[in-house]
Structure 1
Amino acid sequence: MKQTEHSTFEKIYQMPLSKVYPLLVNKATRKGRTQAEADEIIRWLTGYTQEELEELLKKPTTYGDFFRNAPAPHPNRTMIQGSICGIKVEEIQEPLMREIRYLDKLIDELAKGKAMEKILRM
């Protein structure tokens, strides 16, 4: 990994979850989807309960720690493929960044109107 890549990743990992979460929800709601649907995706991907998610949003949790401490990352998350920001998620070498991009990809799919069953790889 290049030094610039590493420092970019660290900036993302250090971002407060409480700042990133509204951006994810806003992306979905601008396209007619709901916060509840965004939360369902987050819970599916990470294994957090709704209560745990809400508690983490009240604490100074970093985005990196949110994913590092995910209680039960869904085994089907590795089925998530496609590009986010011009990069194929399945080709991202940095494991933590891949987890973050999985969520970005799922929220993109939600905003594009994809059915929840397909988004959650059911």
Structure 2
Amino acid sequence: MTRHKIFTTSFASVYPHYVAKAEKKGRTRAEVDEIICWLTGYSPEELAARLEDQTDFETFFAQAPCVNLARSLIKGVVCGVRVEEVENPLMREIRYLDKMIDELAKGKPMEKILRDG
């Protein structure tokens, strides 16, 4: 089985697209960062370091300090696929992030996106 190209793509190369998608809909880079930190357990400083060192997606998620257990509450469709049905664990993590950024861009309140309550 061949590995998906996104796994070896640098997180930093995709990050500006997350931010642009959010900002186009009136949301902020800080909200994007909050989502990423909530999902992965990276501190803002650690996130900045991962962006700086061009960490690929596979490493970015493999080295995440503390993936949020509440991420399993993320449901829905991204790119025509239900995130909860994605079999590859790494692809599922990437789709969780995609889904959360989609929700941000659609105007969903942060407290609902972060699923802490």
Coarse TM-score class (shorter-chain normalised): over 0.9
User: Which residue number in structure 1 is paired with residue 61 of structure 2?
Assistant: 67
- Residue 13 of structure 1 aligns with an amino acid whose one-letter code is F
* 1:102 counterpart = 2:107: no
- Residue 86 of structure 1 aligns with an amino acid whose one-letter code is G
**Structure 1, unaligned stretches of length 5 or more?**
none
Q: How does 1:1-122 map to 2 (within 5 A)?
A: 3=1, 6-7=2-3, 9=4, 11-122=5-116
Contact 1:20–1:63 (8 Å) recurs in 2:
no
Residue range with higher mean Cα deviation, 58-67 or 79-88: 58-67
- The CA RMSD over aligned residues, in Å, is 0.9
- TM-score (normalised: structure 2): 0.96
The whole-number CA distance in structure 1 between the counterparts of 2:86 and 2:50 is 26
The total of aligned residue pairs comes to 116
Query: Identity percentage over the alignment?
Result: 56
Aligned structure 1 segments of 4 or more residues deviating by more than 4 angstroms: none
- TM-score (normalised: structure 1): 0.92
| 1:68 Cα deviation from its structure 2 partner | 1.1
